[in-house]
Amino acid sequence: MHIRILALATLFQIQFACQQHDVPQHQARKASFKTIDTQQTMSRETNPSAENVILQSVDEGKTWLDAGAGLPKDIESGMLFTSGGQLFFNSAYGLFQKNGYASNPVWQREVFPDKRIEEIFPGRASLYGYTAGVGFFTEMQGSGIWIHVGNTLEGRSVRTLVEAPDGSVLVGSDTGIYKSTDGCKSWKQVFKGDMVTSIHLADKFLFAGGLQGLLRSANDGEHWDLIETNIGRAYHIGNIESGVTAIFEGVSPNKDSIQNRIKNDLLVSADGGETWASLDASLPSDQVIFGIVQSGDYLFCSLDSGIYRSGDKGGSWQLVHASKGKERYDVVASDKSVFAIRRFNGC
């Protein structure tokens, strides 16, 4: 197992808050499920019977496999991401990784000797960590060694982190955007405003989404312009083959709708954010949209009702995996696979 060493010996407890997130989701046709077989011996901390926390499709969404072998039985959800050609899953039980998407299905827990890092963010070549009240950590590239670099943003929540092309690090917080050019040791505020929850690099621009709307930077995050504010907050920024995507959340203009009903817009821009086109015309209009990814020739979108797939660049959508009860999914594309991470709406 890959051992990750923390340069800190203080133990903190993880605190959880139950939050209600109002955003629409998609549904799917009944999918066939299989449990991935493994001959590997599990440690006492893991249980191969953890069910349907992470689903994987290797056939363009036609079938979905239970890809949670090796995860603790009681695990509920977490954040899935790729870094350096490896797949990582950060959860309340710690950080898990596996090196193969199909040939090596068993998750293995990364061991932090003294303190689990609460938040893990992918960098361009290695990982970044953050723990409220403790500060930032950086991983020495390819070594598995973690170094504590200080708590210079003490008192500010870190919602998202991205490494810019010039090697600087940008974080979105409750009070705007901060930038570090010395490996998270010191920070300067480059955008002052409301909460920023998503920062994404697409083409020659950095895009950021938050309560004020959609922001864009053309100079590695030194200066930011608000480019879209009329359709609500922007909470998920990404990119597909045809351009940068953004999901907006606002109040429905329909006078007959329920008071304060949330309306979502899924948009794509092929010209760096100058103009935007809709991708959600044929998606259910009364649901929250959580995310969109591309795998091969298909787009996959997550709504309240499940996961939808489009083979015509968003012109039409087909439900390929339905959610149950209060669950919903985040979607991640990696190599030729699509992963769905189960989450829950509300308490």
Integer Cα distance of 182 and 239 in angstroms: 28
Q: How high is the pLDDT of residue 142?
A: 60
Percent of the residues in the chain that have a pLDDT greater than 90, as a whole number: 39
Q: How high is the pLDDT of residue 165?
A: 86
Exposure class string for 79-109: b at 16+ Cβ within 10 A, else e: bbbebeebbbbbbebbbbbbeebeeebbbbb
Give one DSSP letter per residue of 46-105, joined into a string: --TT--SSEEEESSTTSS-EE--TTS-TT---EEEEEETTEEEEEETTEEEEES-SSS--
Give one DSSP letter per residue of 212-227, joined into a string: TEEEEESSTTSS-EEE
Torsion-angle region of residue 84: left (phi > 0), alpha (psi -120 to 50) or beta?
left
130: enclosing H helix or E strand = strand 127-131
Nearest to 134 by CA among 122, 119, 112: 119
Give me the domains of the chain, ranges plus CATH numbers: 5-10+21-344 (2.130.10.10)
Cβ atoms of 53 and 341 closer than 8 Å: yes
Q: How high is the pLDDT of residue 147?
A: 85
Mean pLDDT of the chain: 78
Over residues 43-96, the pLDDT tens digits come to 434 444 568 889 999 999 999 999 888 888 888 888 898 877 778 898 888 888
Going by pLDDT thresholds of 50, 70 and 90, the confidence category of residue 7 is very low
Give one DSSP letter per residue of 279-335, joined into a string: S-TTS-TTS-EEEEEEETTEEEEEEBTEEEEESSTTSS-EEEEE--TTEEEEEEEET
Burial of 262 (0-12, 13-18, 19+ CB in 10 A): middle
Q: How high is the pLDDT of residue 124?
A: 81
Structure-model confidence comparison of residues 288 and 25, the more confident one: 288
Over residues 120-143, the pLDDT tens digits come to 898 887 789 898 888 898 887 666
Of 188-202, 250-264, 316-330, least confident by mean pLDDT is 250-264
Nearest to 283 by CA among 261, 260, 307: 307
Q: How high is the pLDDT of residue 256?
A: 41
Q: How high is the pLDDT of residue 92?
A: 83
Structure-model confidence comparison of residues 229 and 61, the more confident one: 61
User: Is the per-residue pLDDT at 160 higher than 50?
Assistant: yes
Over residues 172-217, the pLDDT tens digits come to 999 999 999 998 989 999 999 889 999 999 878 999 999 889 999 9
Structure-model confidence comparison of residues 43 and 249, the more confident one: 249
Assigned token pair, 251:
């109040």
Q: How high is the pLDDT of residue 64?
A: 95
What is the SS3 assignment for 240-259?
ECCEEEEEEEEECCCCCCCC
Q: How high is the pLDDT of residue 74?
A: 86
Angstrom distances, CA of residue 74 to CA of 68, 70, 106, 181: 12, 12, 16, 40
Single-letter amino acid code for the residue at 267: L
User: Is the per-residue pLDDT at 8 higher than 70?
Assistant: no
Over residues 336-345, the pLDDT tens digits come to 899 999 987 6
Single-letter amino acid code for the residue at 12: F
Assigned token pair, 332:
């991640």
Q: How high is the pLDDT of residue 276?
A: 92
Q: How high is the pLDDT of residue 44?
A: 39
Over residues 15-39, the pLDDT tens digits come to 333 333 333 333 222 222 222 233 3
Structure-model confidence comparison of residues 311 and 77, the more confident one: 311
**What is the reported pTM?**
0.79
Q: How high is the pLDDT of residue 303?
A: 94
User: Is the per-residue pLDDT at 255 higher than 50?
Assistant: no
